[in-house]
Amino acid sequence: MSRRVAVVITSFPVLRSAALMVTLAATLLVSCAHAPGALVPPAGQSSASDSLSLTTAHPRTVLRWQTETESNTFAYYVYRSEKPDADLVCINTETPVHAAGTSTTPAKYVYFDLAVEPGKVYYYKLQSKDLDGTTEWIVGADKPVKGTAKPLTEAELNEIRTKGQAYREETR
């Protein structure tokens, strides 16, 4: 199976490729063993951002990615570490970013990592999980992507308040 993914990650080095082919990860550093049928809030309805008193001073890193097509995709999981060569930990096991399933319509995804310290550097990988349990690294497969925590902008603050900490939208 292959999935075409265009990636733009705010506050990370810009990836020059307009689209990248995902590669199958042979092993996982840390498993996000979250059953596809489990009950979790839909994307955009994360309770994590509801419980935070957010201001433009609140630190964040932002992952933004776009899929061109999806096939049998359940959700996306974000992995993070504080060192480039350390084991990564899934930071959204309980609230994955829900995927479109099977679709030929491009979709944009956003994940705000709000559990960061200002100015601190973090390393990320992004993993997709299909309905049959198959997983693939779609960002950072060979090397985690680096991001530095920066304050939320007013636009991002409004984005989180209206759409949630993590969400999907079709790009028609």
pLDDT tens digits for the chain (172 residues)?
445 444 444 433 333 222 222 222 222 223 344 333 333 334 444 444 444 578 999 999 999 999 999 999 999 999 999 999 999 999 999 999 999 999 999 999 999 999 999 999 999 999 999 999 999 999 998 999 999 999 999 999 999 999 999 999 877 6
pLDDT of residue 31: 34
Asked whether 143 and 88 are in contact (CB, 8 A), the reply is no
State the fold for domain 4-170: Immunoglobulin-like (2.60.40)
pLDDT of residue 170: 75
pLDDT of residue 163: 94
SS3 (DSSP) at 123: strand
Burial (Cβ within 10 Å: 0-12, 13-18, ≥19) of residue 72: middle
Q: How far apart are the first and last CA of the chain?
A: 24
Neighbours of 64 (CB within 10 A): 15
| Closest among 171, 170, 139, 166 to 46, alpha carbons compared | 166
Between CA 112 and CA 62 the distance in angstroms is 5
Between CA 150 and CA 61 the distance in angstroms is 7
What are the domain boundaries of the chain?
4-170
Which token pair is 111?
A: 């994940």
What predicted TM-score, i.e. pTM, was given to this entire model?
Answer: 0.73
Between CA 37 and CA 41 the distance in angstroms is 12
Asked whether 61 and 149 are in contact (CB, 8 A), the reply is yes
| Closest among 126, 171, 168 to 147, alpha carbons compared | 126
- 32 phi and psi, to 5 degrees? -100, 70
Type of residue at 117: E
